[in-house]
Structure 1
Amino acid sequence: MKIKSVLAKPFAGFIYKSIQKNKLTALADQEQILKQLLKTGRITEYGKEHRFEQVNSYEEFKQASPIRDYEQMRPWIDKIVEGKHNVLWKGVPMYFAKTSGTTSGVKYIPITKESVGNHFGTARNAALCYAAETGNTRFFDGKLIFLSGSPELERVGGIPTGRLSGISNHLIPKYLRTNQLPSYETNCIEDWETKLGKIVDETINQNMTLISGIPPWMQMYFDELIRRTGKKVGDIFPNFNVMIQGGVNFEPYKAKIFESIGRKVDTIEVFPASEGFFAFQDSQQAEGLLLNTNDGIFFEFVPAAEIHSENPTRLSLKDVKVGENYALIINSNAGLWSYNIGDTVKFVSTDPYRLVVTGRIKHYISAFGEHVIGEEVEQSLLQAATEEHIHITEFTVAPMIQQGEGKSYHEWFIEFEHMPGNLESFASKLNENLRERNIYYDDLITGNILQPLKITPVKKNGFIDYMKSIGKLGGQNKVPRLSNDRKIADELMKWAEN
């Protein structure tokens, strides 16, 4: 055993005990964080406009600061870009995390001196909790790969700006730098296919012990390793035993990824975003991700069905219920106030507070009032695929609206690792699974308003080619699971199986 794995054990134990204590004080910690945020917020332009000096409770805060998305927060962000200080938080941000918006184009999310530790510290805590619970610290002695965006930063309003994964690359401590792959130069390559080839070049003969990234990236990396060597990833890297993943639901990718590895490895799921690191898997035994209740973020929760209402119900952590679908709202020491991040979550436990990510607010199908969400389609497909022993590479769903009663349907674009023996039978099972999970969809099928769903198989690498065609291959870009229109579906027809 080498020195890093030896030193990691007591540190992991210390962090693990600290997190166990935080579980017991989650509500008190949240209350204290709101007070601290408001104390700093009172000196900012936003705080003065919203009369934070008169706010002394959560109920008063809800009245003072309305829920906003990025477009509605943009006037304050623009002032920071123009060089103004004390706009949303004291001073100016340490970084801008650059993300792609929908209507807003490029979005600039502030990361402050106070909030920067949340991003790296939570990722570290996830790994250390795993180490403390399992006793496995061996992965600290090998090479660790972080599949990230380019760490090269530009300046916007004088503030270093780049993708969050690229910024995070700058935050990796010195004691892990010697373990980190790929090289800085390779990480700076913008073209994903070129970058992927270089990553394989640099890692294929190394002692890889931990691999981290979003599942579609990791699968592309694994596919290239297998293509080059003809071996399973677990044989190429015999000491590879831990995988950290997040960004999308892992379950639809899980079977194929483990098949590519050729054996089981431990996985650690995380819930990061440009706006903050919200939750992480703290246990290999318990369901869900532990909410990060003591790290500069005050969380609010809105019943998902109310998020577009003029006056939605706003709940603090003490009032959430297990099994309810909530839109996640954050207030943070990055200067984000009553900010709707666009994700929906569902608590699986309130002692401690563990949740799962159920989808995106804007990703749903409700062309006929069915309001099908991401969690429902993912679970329906996973159940059918598991029963049929079929591996799914990627998928998305869109409505097909046609004139005449009983002619419209949901169209599923699925890239199979191997086609089902009977596609119609597979589609029928999938349809029944969705009917069981969504009563409105079931009513529309029963009432002959919708036909049962139809599957359009997509050619091998069709989704990769589609993402390449729109300039979004690699990075943090992901194919939406659901669309309420045909924009993605019509483009994917170019890669449909004949």
Structure 2
Amino acid sequence: MKFKSFLAKPFASIVSKNIKKGMQTAVEDQENILKYLIKTARITQFGKEHRFAELNDYKQFRQSVPVRNYEQLKHYIEEIKAGKHNVLWRGQPLYFAKTSGTVSGTKYIPISKESIHNHINGARNALLCYMAETGNTAFADGKLIFLSGSPVLERVGGIPTGRLSGIVNHHIPRYLRKNQLPEYETNCIEDWETKLGKIVEETIRQDMTLISGIPPWMQMYFDELIRRSGKPVGELFPRFSVMVYGGVNFEPYQAKLFQSIGRKVDGIETFPASEGFFAFQDTQTEPGLLLNTNSGIFFEFIPADEIGRENPRRLSLGEVETGVNYALIINNNAGLWGYDIGDMVKFVSVDPYRLVVTGRTKHFISAFGEHVIGEEVEYSLLKAAKEDNVHITEFTVAPYVSNDAGKSYHQWFIEFENEPEDIRHFSQKVDQYLREKNAYYDDLISGNILQQLIITPVRKNGFIDYMRSIGKLGGQNKVPRLSNDRKIAEGLTQWIKN
């Protein structure tokens, strides 16, 4: 029974030592990756159009390759779907990862035979670093659950296509298959609520030791386990010791998740996306996620205050500073070039290169010039919630624009696990912390252009019902923290608490 955990110890030690060595060569590794990417893609349509045969360094590369979003790369993807080879990368993609885009509709992100290893080994390395540091390998002998999308793949232009989590499911090592739950047939269920019920049936009497997924999914899973059993999750699963999460900031969900478990368990945070596995938590003792600097991706960074400019500065890894928000740009061995993934990051360390995700470049409020970002609203709300012992289930923020001076405000839709005793006083605290965090917002309040934020409580499960109503419950879908318009706010109207 303990065979896997026994074998994991030496393997974890070897991988962890190699990762620590890589911390010292991160900048050099990035330079070598760029050279490899340029050399390999010279034969491609993209490489020929952008003079890759003439490029020798990063300065020349950024002059030749502009920053693009999916819509601006879409015509290349369409050629690949039509059967053309050597378009963005040599040959054709091994897969398309299908994801939803607000502007482009469904996006098809290429994954090559070279880049698939980035997705698989990133998650593996996060677990192995945890094992090496803590000595906890026992969870490898229990049941492991990966709350993922359906592994059923369709073919688009002859290329296997599906959700990234479903694609990766096909590459889980054989030695873990017997430990993995739910069963393949259950994972294939498309309807999230039906699938959730089946997952609970399969796992409620099992020896679960590791649970992985995005925090909102895990909370729904925990809620259903508790509803059916009447017991906290930690009592149902006495050996449950590791929780792996990513996709959204963990902090807003942390208190309720641990309350549902009934005790603390170790957490491992990851930064995955359809475009690549960018970073992972390599230690339990230091903040931030270790950037995946030697895995086929060359990273670039644009300072947040230059996003949207015609010619923003583009920095390589060796040029970044701690404490600065950057838009993350990637170039990878699947043919994404100068690709803006839409996430903002901030380095908390450059020795080694560890970062935190601070929000989405498109998720902000600047209806009045304040440019409030996700990191700021999460900090303000969680600080006030901690002081008042308030637990938050979910929230989103939108601007309310009035034609009357001093009447416009930020409207916060919050689903509370337990409401504050005085919601007006609570909103004043959140507002004050946001003013301290964002000078532009503070100026607007001081100048009577905005009034203090207003909190609108959402009834229990209101966000779940809203996501269900728009067909985005489960899957990879998350509620945006911030919107610069009223679309989500208006959609939530029917679930506002009386």
Shorter chain as denominator, the TM-score bin is: over 0.9
The separation in 1 between residues aligned to 2:332 and 2:199, in whole angstroms, is 35
- 1:142 corresponds to 2:152: no
1:279-290 equivalence runs, <5 A = 279-290=279-290
SS in structure 2 opposite 1:410? strand
The separation in 1 between residues aligned to 2:79 and 2:69, in whole angstroms, is 17
- 1:486 corresponds to 2:489: no
SS in structure 2 opposite 1:42? helix
The separation in 2 between residues aligned to 1:121 and 1:62, in whole angstroms, is 28
Partner of 2:206: 206
The separation in 2 between residues aligned to 1:51 and 1:7, in whole angstroms, is 48
1:67-466 equivalence runs, <5 A = 67-466=67-466
Structure 2 counterpart of 1:61, which letter? F
The separation in 2 between residues aligned to 1:422 and 1:455, in whole angstroms, is 12
| 1:442 Cα deviation after fit | 0.4
- 4+ runs of 1 displaced by more than 6 Å? none
The separation in 2 between residues aligned to 1:418 and 1:345, in whole angstroms, is 31
| 1:103 Cα deviation after fit | 1.2
SS in structure 2 opposite 1:258? helix
SS in structure 1 opposite 2:349? strand
The separation in 2 between residues aligned to 1:269 and 1:305, in whole angstroms, is 27
| 1:493 Cα deviation after fit | 1.0
| 1:237 Cα deviation after fit | 0.2
Structure 1 counterpart of 2:397, which letter? V
Partner of 2:8: 8
Measured against aligned partners, the alpha-carbon deviations of 1:316-359 in whole angstroms (never above 9, x if no partner) come to 00000000000000000011001000000000000000000000
SS in structure 1 opposite 2:341? strand
Measured against aligned partners, the alpha-carbon deviations of 1:53-95 in whole angstroms (never above 9, x if no partner) come to 1100000000110000000000101100101000000000000
| 1:475 Cα deviation after fit | 0.3
Measured against aligned partners, the alpha-carbon deviations of 1:94-134 in whole angstroms (never above 9, x if no partner) come to 00000001111000000000000000100000000000000
Partner of 2:496: 496
The separation in 1 between residues aligned to 2:285 and 2:394, in whole angstroms, is 28
Gaps of 5+ in 1: none
Partner of 2:63: 63
SS in structure 2 opposite 1:381? helix
The separation in 1 between residues aligned to 2:54 and 2:306, in whole angstroms, is 27
The separation in 2 between residues aligned to 1:87 and 1:309, in whole angstroms, is 29
The separation in 2 between residues aligned to 1:100 and 1:312, in whole angstroms, is 27
SS in structure 2 opposite 1:144? strand
| 1:445 Cα deviation after fit | 0.4
Partner of 2:46: 46
SS in structure 2 opposite 1:139? helix
The separation in 2 between residues aligned to 1:252 and 1:4, in whole angstroms, is 34
| 1:418 Cα deviation after fit | 1.3
The separation in 2 between residues aligned to 1:230 and 1:441, in whole angstroms, is 45
Measured against aligned partners, the alpha-carbon deviations of 1:170-204 in whole angstroms (never above 9, x if no partner) come to 01010000000001101111111100000000000
The separation in 1 between residues aligned to 2:307 and 2:438, in whole angstroms, is 19
The separation in 2 between residues aligned to 1:341 and 1:491, in whole angstroms, is 26
The alignment's TM-score, normalised by the length of structure 2, stands at 1.00
SS in structure 1 opposite 2:176? helix
The separation in 1 between residues aligned to 2:228 and 2:390, in whole angstroms, is 25
The separation in 1 between residues aligned to 2:41 and 2:108, in whole angstroms, is 20
The separation in 2 between residues aligned to 1:305 and 1:41, in whole angstroms, is 32
The separation in 2 between residues aligned to 1:342 and 1:15, in whole angstroms, is 30
Structure 2 counterpart of 1:66, which letter? P
The separation in 1 between residues aligned to 2:8 and 2:349, in whole angstroms, is 29
The separation in 2 between residues aligned to 1:385 and 1:78, in whole angstroms, is 47
SS in structure 1 opposite 2:43? coil
Structure 1 counterpart of 2:66, which letter? P
The separation in 2 between residues aligned to 1:266 and 1:56, in whole angstroms, is 45
| 1:242 Cα deviation after fit | 0.2
The separation in 2 between residues aligned to 1:402 and 1:307, in whole angstroms, is 28
| 1:307 Cα deviation after fit | 1.9
Gaps of 5+ in 2: none
The separation in 2 between residues aligned to 1:75 and 1:306, in whole angstroms, is 27
The separation in 2 between residues aligned to 1:237 and 1:391, in whole angstroms, is 24
SS in structure 2 opposite 1:389? coil
The separation in 2 between residues aligned to 1:307 and 1:370, in whole angstroms, is 15
Structure 2 counterpart of 1:439, which letter? A
Partner of 1:472: 472
Structure 2 counterpart of 1:219, which letter? Q
SS in structure 2 opposite 1:473? coil
The alignment's TM-score, normalised by the length of structure 1, stands at 1.00
